[in-house]
Copies of this chain bind each other. A is one copy, B any other.
Amino acid sequence: MNEIKIFSPATVANVACGFDVLGFCLDSVGDEMVIRKTDKKGIFITKIEGGFDLPYQAELNVAGVSALALYEAAKPDCGFEIEINKKIKPGSGIGSSAASAVGSVFGMNELLGRPFNKTQLTEFAIKGEALASKCEHADNLAPALFGGFTLVKSISPLEILEIPSPDDLYVTIIHPQIEIKTSEARAILPKEVPLIDAITQWANFGSLIHALHTGDFGLIQRSLNDVIVEPYRSQLIPHYNKVKTEALKAGALGAGISGSGPSIFSLSKGIENAKNVKDAMKKVYSNTEIDFDIHVSKINNKGVKIIY
Which A residues fall within an 8 A CB radius of B?
17-22, 151-154, 159, 161, 163, 189-195, 198-199, 201-210, 213, 219, 222-223, 228
A206: shortest Cβ distance to chain B, in Å? 5
Looking at the complex, which one of B193, B205, B209 makes contact with A193 (CB distance below 8 Å)? B193
Contact indicator B151/A206 (Cβ below 8 Å): yes
Instruction: Report the bound CA distance from A204 to B21 in whole Å.
Output: 10
How many copies are assembled? 2
Cβ-defined contact, A201 with B198, below 8 A: yes
A192 contacts across to B, CB distance below 8 A = 192-195
Cβ of B19 and Cβ of A206 under 8 Å apart?
no
Cβ B199 vs Cβ A21 within 8 A:
yes
Chain B residues whose CB sits within 8 angstroms of the CB of A18 once the complex forms: 202, 206
B195 and A195 form a contact (CB under 8 A): no
What is the chain B residue whose CB lies nearest that of A216?
A: B161
Nearest chain B CB to A186's CB is how many angstroms away?
A: 11
A162 to chain B: closest residue by CB: B210
| CB nearest to A200 among chain B residues | B154
Give every chain B residue within 8 A of A202 (Cβ-Cβ). 17-19, 21, 198, 201-202, 205-206
Cα distance A190–B149 when bound, in Å? Answer: 33
Select which of B19, B194, B205 is within 8 A of A205 by beta carbon: B205
Could you list 11 further interchain pairs (A-B, Cβ under 8 angstroms) beyond the known A151-B207, A198-B201, A205-B205?
Answer: A18-B206, A19-B199, A20-B203, A21-B202, A153-B203, A161-B210, A163-B210, A189-B195, A191-B194, A193-B194, A202-B206
> B residues within 8 A CB of A194?
191-193
- How many Å from the CB of A241 to the closest CB on chain B? 22
